[in-house]
Amino acid sequence: MLGAVSGALAGLLSAPAARAAKATVQKVFASSGAPNGYDPYKHKWLMCFDVDKCIGCGLCVDACKTENHVPQASHYFRTWIERYIIKKPKPGSDRTRGEVLVDSPNGGRDGFPPTVVPREEILKSFFVPKLCNLCESSPCTQVCPVGATFDTPDGAVLVDPNYCIGCGFCIQACPYGCRFLNPETKTAEKCNLCYHRITRGLKPACVEICPTEARIFGDLKNPVVDDRIQAFIQKNKVFSLKPHLGTEPRVMYANLDKEVR
């Protein structure tokens, strides 16, 4: 009892100093199950998209569900694809475009069925894959009441499945709709960049499977010789989703149309 009291008071008084000391200590994975020797401070992961390359095959959605054991029911996705169909304006109207139709049948998992809109009426159409936007000032990590979702030092946003209480506050807070409540574990879940793969030097499942290299993944702190992220940013004009919300998303899209929500 006395030990607990003194521990509590010592903790309170030395907390600022201890926190500063721990911040400088490099924590390295050392447990038996995790990839050994991985230092989260030595990496900074990022995913980017080239919208002009996405063919909407849905292999990424399927791969993510398989890799991360996401429930098979149709509204649980860590990543999904949206199809945008922008129709031509009515003849004689003064608008630049007609109606914008957005659909995502089963997240795009089985591909996209041919649309009911005839080809002559379409002004332009494209697929947009989406996932967690890895925001710099993410609303989801701010609202967690227990500290179960957080930004890691290496750029991913994770959910601690053993600590989450399933309140759903983060699911409400994310403006990109990338979180869901897992019905089996009753905890929040989202894209974690396949953290168990990237810490072992593998690529996330969706990046691995994508047939057209529409998904670009890289480590900003350790660019390889033919680094994709630097080339991507150099050659493309890049955009982010919902910039008006102030979440400062790090995920970048090349060739993103203004109609994408």
Binding residues for other proteins, rule: CB under 8 A, are 4-5, 7-9, 11-12, 19, 22, 27, 29-31, 33-35, 38, 40, 52-59, 63, 66-67, 83-85, 111-112, 114-115, 117, 119, 122, 125-127, 147-153, 158, 160-163, 192, 194-197, 199-200, 202-203, 205, 208-213
Q: How far is the CB of 99 from other proteins (least distance, A)?
A: 15
Q: How far is the CB of 94 from other proteins (least distance, A)?
A: 25
Please name the residue that has the structure tokens 């991507």.
232
Q: How far is the CB of 244 from other proteins (least distance, A)?
A: 26
Q: How far is the CB of 257 from other proteins (least distance, A)?
A: 12
Query: 244 or 258, CB closer to other proteins?
Result: 258
Rounded-to-integer distance, Cα 188 and Cα 180, Å: 6
Q: How far is the CB of 7 from other proteins (least distance, A)?
A: 5
Query: 127 or 176, CB closer to other proteins?
Result: 127
Q: How far is the CB of 116 from other proteins (least distance, A)?
A: 11
Query: 38 or 169, CB closer to other proteins?
Result: 38
236 phi, psi to nearest 5 deg: -120, 155
Q: 148: burial class by Cβ within 10 Å (0-12, 13-18, 19+)?
A: buried
Kindly write down the DSSP assignment for every residue of 214-253, as one continuous string.
-EEEEESSS--TT-HHHHHHHHS-EE-S-GGG---B--EE
Query: 38 or 239, CB closer to other proteins?
Result: 38
**Terminal Cα-to-Cα distance of the chain (whole angstroms):** 56
DSSP H stretches of helix in the chain? 2-24, 59-68, 139-143, 169-173, 195-198, 205-209, 228-235
Query: 31 or 72, CB closer to other proteins?
Result: 31
65 phi, psi to nearest 5 deg: -65, -40
Query: 91 or 113, CB closer to other proteins?
Result: 113
